[in-house]
Structure 1
């Protein structure tokens, strides 16, 4: 995370960050996302070009420190036109089935988060029952029903995702960081992030990223809830400490394919599995998307 007054430039194959009288040098090959969290931060165009070459995403924040923009590299894939042509030909049936799988895994992870932090067995079972009711394309909107039970059980009946509170501020910040990294993965595989499988708003340039984000939302929720519970003082606003903690989620390890891996690694693998699933040339649809993310093992340590 880069703060107010910092200056960024390229030094050889590194990003050089000037913070007052201090200077830090980080290899560009070790960076996936840079968050520019300041109104007076400066960055050279040479560094912007280098970020494109190294597939680094830059996220800009507004005066309230909320992510509001993304600079993403293009032409990182040698056959981008071929991949986008494939993308526009994805069949509706296979997109609906993939969305069904994503929502099933999302609700499964929501039930795990809910039980970990509330021990409410009744609501846990209710969410588990929703999983079996998810239809292709989630035409019965089990996702929406599950979300209402999930958030009201954890944060209280007066909570909604639209109100202005620290819980929503932290969730939105975490979602934005993961969304940026998912967008990075989508572009690196040659696809266009605006053409989604479920999200289709003409005002959204990242519909596909939002589709893939759904399965990771409970991971971010657990990460945020854990911080709020473990904090020694009441968290009232997005301080520098809170924002740095949220950006650190990219290094948080989750259980994926029977191995503990960083979320940044899991995102790349999950996105590729989704593309394989959508590819009509791939035959084995049942095993390609073999995903259950055990988000919570070890989170409370």
Structure 2
């Protein structure tokens, strides 16, 4: 697996040559393809060759495309991530509803737990304890919508009671940018294991091609929220975007080892899929934030 995140922000042409990504702009830069994990095309003035895109798909390099406002808009996904993708898809189609409900319960509990930790880190002890109570009340399938109740308390505590995720502004813009990075990272891992991003555990929107990615990214959202709290952005500019993208290189603890968030996402996604296949939510491997780093 590669480790470099490449962001192209200015007019350029990207091509492939002898194992290298070649970026030709005011200057020419070469990056060894096997070192690359993700490429963010942060400008609509960038042209790409089919040969380079093919090499990205072959190497499972995630390519994210931004719109004219430099917000993530889409991504490059190959049709099949493994040779047994058809078998994986058949398995996914027949996932047991009860197993999906129990795994979703576990995902929501983990997300709320990490939201409670963020609140505790920022001195919101009363709200943090309330979220911990919500965590214990999550039912299979989250039928009582503890996730929604927790979100209302959580965002209100972080940004004020008048805050809404539907508002325009730098805070929501920064969170949306970070969430898009996480979603793309989850999609990359899903496809690389041979499964489809379209068929989710809980999310089931006909018009959403990334239902499973939306499911699996949930416990990682608080990592973005924590960074946005630190940034307190007045705008979502180059520095803010660089920090949000670099969340993937931050360190967390998972599977008895310190790893990058990108590595943790891979371990987590595979463990959730395995948990649904086996009907055992206890197989999910959760990450823990490394405080003081």
TM-score w.r.t. the length of structure 2 is: 0.94
Measure how far apart 1:25 and its partner are.
1.8
Measure how far apart 1:159 and its partner are.
0.6
Q: In the alignment, does 2:161 pair up with 1:163?
A: no
Aligned with 2:288 (options 285, 294, 297): 294
Q: What is the Cα-based RMSD across aligned positions, in Å?
A: 1.4
Q: In the alignment, does 2:77 pair up with 1:96?
A: no
Secondary structure of 1:26's counterpart equals strand
Measure how far apart 1:214 and its partner are.
0.5
Report what 1:127 is aligned to. 131
1:56-205 equivalences under 5 Å are: 56-117=61-122, 119-205=123-209
Aligned length: 287
Which structure 2 residue ranges, 5 or more long, are not aligned?
1-6
Measure how far apart 1:32 and its partner are.
2.1
TM-score w.r.t. the length of structure 1 is: 0.92
Aligned with 1:27 (options 29, 32, 47): 32
Aligned with 1:12 (options 9, 13, 18): 18
Asked if the contact 1:32–1:181 (Cα under 8 Å) also holds between the matched residues in 2, the reply is: no
Asked if the contact 2:106–2:281 (Cα under 8 Å) also holds between the matched residues in 1, the reply is: no
Report what 1:222 is aligned to. 226
CA–CA separation in structure 2 for the residues paired with 1:129 and 1:76: 40
CA–CA separation in structure 2 for the residues paired with 1:198 and 1:169: 25
Q: Is 142-151 or 8-17 further displaced after alignment? A: 8-17
Residues 204-261 of structure 1: per-residue CA shift (max 9 Å, x gap):
0000000001111111111221222xxxxxx322211211221111101112234321
Secondary structure of 1:219's counterpart equals helix
Measure how far apart 1:287 and its partner are.
4.0
Secondary structure of 1:32's counterpart equals strand
Q: In the alignment, does 2:41 pair up with 1:36?
A: yes
Report what 1:248 is aligned to. 246
CA–CA separation in structure 1 for the residues paired with 2:285 and 2:60: 27
1:280-291 equivalences under 5 Å are: 282=278, 285=280, 287-291=282-286
Report what 1:232 is aligned to. none
Asked if the contact 2:251–2:290 (Cα under 8 Å) also holds between the matched residues in 1, the reply is: no
Asked if the contact 2:85–2:195 (Cα under 8 Å) also holds between the matched residues in 1, the reply is: yes
Which structure 1 residue ranges, 5 or more long, are not aligned?
229-234
Measure how far apart 1:63 and its partner are.
1.6
